[in-house]
Amino acid sequence: MTPGAHASSTERLQIEAEADVVVVRRRARELAIAQGFDAFAVAAITTAASELSRNVWCHGGGGHALLETVSDAGRVGLRLRFIDEGPGIADLELALRGGCSTGRSLGLGLSGSRRLVDAFHIETSPGEGTTIEVLKWARFPH
Amino acid sequence: MLPDTTPVTPDAHTLALRLRFFRIDPGVLARLAALRPFAERTMSDIIDRFYEHLLSQPETRDYLDDPALVERLKRKQAAYFLGMFRGEIDLAYVQGRMKVGAVHAKLAVATQWYVGACTHYLQLIHEHLHRERASDEERRASFEAIERIMHFDVSLAIDAYIARHHESRLRHQEAIRELSTPVIRVHDRVLLLPLVGTIDSARAQRVMESVLVRIGEEHARVLLLDIAGVTVVDTQVADYLLKTTSAVRLLGAKTILTGISPQVARTVVELGVDLTSLYTRNTLSDGLDLALSLLDKQIRTIDQERV
């Protein structure tokens, strides 16, 4: 859990198919806009949602996402958690450095997502699945 | 390839589970087998009255406008009816029942008429059972057995309906994919591919293949790839753009990426994706100017004074 952020509502979305990736990122986008995110922050959190939910589908063998609107001392933000029970990430350091791809893609999903958000937390171990939590604040509060 | 999630015909394991859930055990099957003489005796009356009912309802009458068809259906119905009293439910039985559902789904018989008709069928059987010489207990057990197998059959028919619906949805998706990948010839040897919406892996492949074919056919020199309508450029989309560009290059053509919004530009940089190997322009119109200049052509205003 990200310290100092109080969740006001949580939504759970299943990620079982590629189409679910689209559902998750669309919902993240809607929530970000509703929270008053500016266009750059909306693009950032939507893209991170796309990357991380795709990871759940592609590498984690499916799982779910938890989408939460959070607030802390007048700030509002969005916290997204991506949970799978897949094989886990064997070399986390390598995966976070970027350029490591287990599939056929660019291998920038994790490292890129981390740069797109304000807080990034990952828990994984081989065979135990992976939980990734990201937090993005609306930069220019109303 | 499309993800194949079509509901499939049960295998031996799921059939066993389904039978257990419907509480169709060997005792129930034996009872059904014992009812076979009853079924043979009452069959023609039940089926005649069943079709009378269907013909009296405007919703089902429309499907039965041909008397020869009704006769043929009655014969099929007889086989269907006796099938319940075989005392055995195997995978062939399941396939047969699902096929019946599939035929009704294909004819667009709404599930409410299908299930409604089965209820009526059950009622007709009930009436006949009441006239049988048997104890109340016997009658009740017989009716329960018939009720279970009929509901079991209906569940299979509904699965067939769902499978058909699912298939038609996949076909629609396919059709939309086809429709949403138009490669447009905007100028001699210049093609435009406007990408819109979500690019999933199936669509990305389709688009890439069709664009490569068109480049070959048209001897195109430049491909304008406009991503103004793409909602999210994540690493997968970026990867796809890079791969398309490399393949296009192998065919001797150049790719110009246009329609990059400020938000996308920033996000792509944060992601760490390097698109600098591509020609890029902010707008499609700038991209077209670049395309023409690569072909040593240009668009210019005609000098008014010379006219």
* Angle, helices B26-34/B136-179, rounded to nearest 10 degrees: 110
Which of the 8 DSSP states describes residue B214? H
Quick: pLDDT tens for B14-72: 999 999 999 999 999 999 999 999 999 999 999 999 999 999 988 888 888 888 889 99
Q: Mean of the per-residue pLDDT values for chain A? A: 85
Minimal Cα distance from A109: which residue of B?
Answer: B235
Task: Give the residue from A106, A115, A120 with the most B CB atoms within 10 Å of its CB, the best one to mutate.
Answer: A106
Which of the 8 DSSP states describes residue B133? S
Nearest to B288 by CA among B213, B196, B188: B188
Q: What percent of chain A has pLDDT over 70?
A: 87
Distance in Å, alpha carbon of A25 to nearest chain B alpha carbon: 9
For chain A, which residues make up each domain, given as ranges?
Answer: 8-137
Is B271–A115 a contact, with Cβ atoms under 8 angstroms apart?
yes
Tell me the C-alpha distance between A105 and A59, whole Å: 12
pLDDT of amino acid B1:
34
Quick: pLDDT tens for B131-179: 888 888 999 999 999 999 999 999 999 999 998 888 888 777 766 665 6
Helix (H) or strand (E) holding B231: none
Of A17, A39, A43, the CB nearest to B3: A17
Are the C-beta atoms of residues B221 and B294 closer than 8 Å to each other?
A: yes
pLDDT of amino acid A102:
53
Quick: pLDDT tens for B250-288: 999 999 999 999 999 999 999 988 888 889 999 999 999
**In chain B, which residues have their Cβ closer than 8 Å to the Cβ of A21?**
200
pLDDT of amino acid B97:
93
- Return phi, psi of residue A83, to 5°: -125, 125
CB atoms within 10 A of CB B20: 10
Mean pLDDT of A69-78: 90
Tell me the C-alpha distance between B163 and B197, whole Å: 27
Are the C-beta atoms of residues A79 and A2 closer than 8 Å to each other?
A: yes
Quick: pLDDT tens for B175-188: 666 566 688 999 99
Neighbour-count burial for B167-189, b at 16+ CB within 10 Å, e otherwise: eeeeeeeeeebeebbebeeebeb
Which of the 8 DSSP states describes residue B89? -
Evaluate whether the domain defined by A8-137 bears CATH number 3.30.565.10: yes
Distance in Å, alpha carbon of A40 to nearest chain B alpha carbon: 5
Bigger pLDDT: A125 vs A98: A125
Is B270–A115 a contact, with Cβ atoms under 8 angstroms apart?
yes
Q: How many residues does chain A have?
A: 142
A39 inside 8 A of chain B by CB: yes
Bigger pLDDT: B21 vs A8: B21
Of B236, B239, B264, the CB nearest to A43: B264
Three-state secondary structure readout of chain A: CCCCCEEEEEEEEEECCHHHHHHHHHHHHHHHHHCCCCHHHHHHHHHHHHHHHHHHHHCCCCEEEEEEEEEECCEEEEEEEEEECCCCCCCHHHHHHCCCCCCCCCCCHHHHHHHHCCEEEEEECCCCCEEEEEEEECCCCC
Q: Please name each of the domains of chain B with its CATH number.
A: 12-177 (1.10.490.10), 184-294 (3.30.750.24)
